[in-house]
Structure 1
């Protein structure tokens, strides 16, 4: 895997920032859940393609509807990106559902449950 250059990293950050603003303020599609965030963006070095990782806090139906809504608004989003960011090429955006945040929350809950049980057992042993 190729290491990102400074220029590519800056482009990724700028595209992520603009995508987040567009999703939050620019798109009025009711299918897009209000708790939608852009967790990461990977723009190819040739600026032709872009993978946008989207996190949605909601149920499965809300996640699927949000991805469908974003895919249908892809042309508008790309046009707005071209208007707001001065790039040689405006990348073709592919939206990917990112469930890493929910996975992390679930793991954190499991860890808390295990450590909570261990603390209860230790307290019980100390009292005896």
Structure 2
């Protein structure tokens, strides 16, 4: 499996999952979710979807629970939208890089003062 193909499929998954979350998921726990990245294994069996959630820690946990509940529906939608032999298993994770970057920026500002 070429890395280029895995990257193309990851980008397609990012686009399709984003559209599904915005238009099809009606769960109130799934609020303002942004997909920041998708990593697909070389054999296309698993896709790790990194999300950013607007809100506090409790809202993030609720969003992850809502996404876990809707995982089967999302996977079925992906299967009908993207032509693959086997639809990858989807794992959702909170992307901590934005918070990490903000924290470093705050520390640098404090040092500058």
* TM beyond 0.5: yes
Counting only pairs closer than 5 Å after superposition, residues 1-128 of structure 1 correspond to structure 2 as 5-34=3-32, 36-115=33-112, 117=113
Q: How many residues align?
A: 112
Coordinate RMSD, CA, aligned: 1.3
Consecutive unaligned residues in structure 1, runs of 5 or more: 118-128
Consecutive unaligned residues in structure 2, runs of 5 or more: none
Q: CA deviation at 1:17?
A: 1.0
Task: Work out the CA distance in 1 between the residues paired with 2:22 and 2:106.
Answer: 29
Spell out, residue by residue over 1:74-115, the C-alpha distance to the aligned partner (whole angstroms, 9 max, x if none). 000001101111112101111111111111112112212222
Task: Work out the CA distance in 1 between the residues paired with 2:81 and 2:99.
Answer: 31
Task: Work out the CA distance in 2 between the residues paired with 1:31 and 1:49.
Answer: 24
TM-score, length basis structure 1: 0.82
Aligned to 1:54, the other structure's residue is in SS state strand
- Runs of 4+ that moved beyond 2 A: none
Spell out, residue by residue over 1:8-59, the C-alpha distance to the aligned partner (whole angstroms, 9 max, x if none). 110111111111111122111000122x111111112222111111111210
Task: Work out the CA distance in 2 between the residues paired with 1:44 and 1:37.
Answer: 21
TM-score, length basis structure 2: 0.92
Q: CA deviation at 1:71?
A: 0.3
